[in-house]
Amino acid sequence: MRRVALVTGASAGIGEAFARVFAAHGFDLAITARREDRLRALAASLERQHGTRVHIFCADLTDRGAPARLCEQLAAANITVDALVNNAGYGVPGTFTSVDWQRHADFLQVLLVAVAELTYRLLPSMAARGYGRIINVASLAGLIPAPAGHTLYAATKSFLIRFSEALSSEFAHHGVHVTAVCPGFTFSEFHDVTGTREMMRGLPSWMWMDAPTVAEQGYNAVMAGRPVYVTGRVNSAIALLARYLPHRLVSALNRRVGRAYRKT
């Protein structure tokens, strides 16, 4: 019987890329996002290309009841999840108090609460079976000082990194690998959604990666049992410099660069 990977936010970008990578490696899929038409198009492509069986679940993870309902639907369909990719996410431009609280609350629900709840509900059965793979799509932003704007983004990504490290320590001996994948700038719809696409055009091409490469590296990292993985050599170098250079210097540099791509 083929293993099944559940991918959230699978309708585009890194989530779609992870779905394609897991399918290419022989997994069947359960995919979820809000846009059913995108999910159906992806399912048809994967079934045609890899013979993958794809289960579609439309869900809006800003809804506090969505993670529980999704798990109930999986159980009702007799689907056992062997790999979980917590990818769903977006950014909220602007300074903290310039954005209404409900937008912040929805953001935290998707990027923090839903991730923790889906993991909490699916991880025990993985541990009981002695096999599980969990990828939390974090960000390089969670490893470096945060500039102004998108106030909660780096904070939630930092949480995902520490959350993944703790889970990895707790469950590695049960055969469950947990990895925080930390990409930097990635070609996707992310910047279109946040309205920062034009601002991003000024960044040099060497700072960018494509989503399929990020997903392939993330897949290899979780299979190897690496708790934290930064994608790409440039991003790895930035993370290393941020760790060893004086904090004030890194903060000043990031503030300067951040003005080019963050709305405040």
Residue with tokens 């359960």: 30
Are 127 and 176 a contacting pair, CB within 8 Å? yes
153 CB-contact burial (10 Å; exposed 0-12 / middle 13-18 / buried 19+): buried
Q: What is the DSSP letter of 79?
A: P
Confirm if 213 and 187 have CB atoms less than 8 A apart: no
CA 47 to chain centre: 23
Task: Give the residue carrying structure tokens 């910047």.
Answer: 191
Contact between residue 187 and residue 232 where contact means Cβ atoms under 8 Å apart: no
The catalytic residue positions are: 153
Helix runs in 109-260, H state only: 114-129, 151-171, 190-193, 197-200, 211-223, 233-244, 247-258
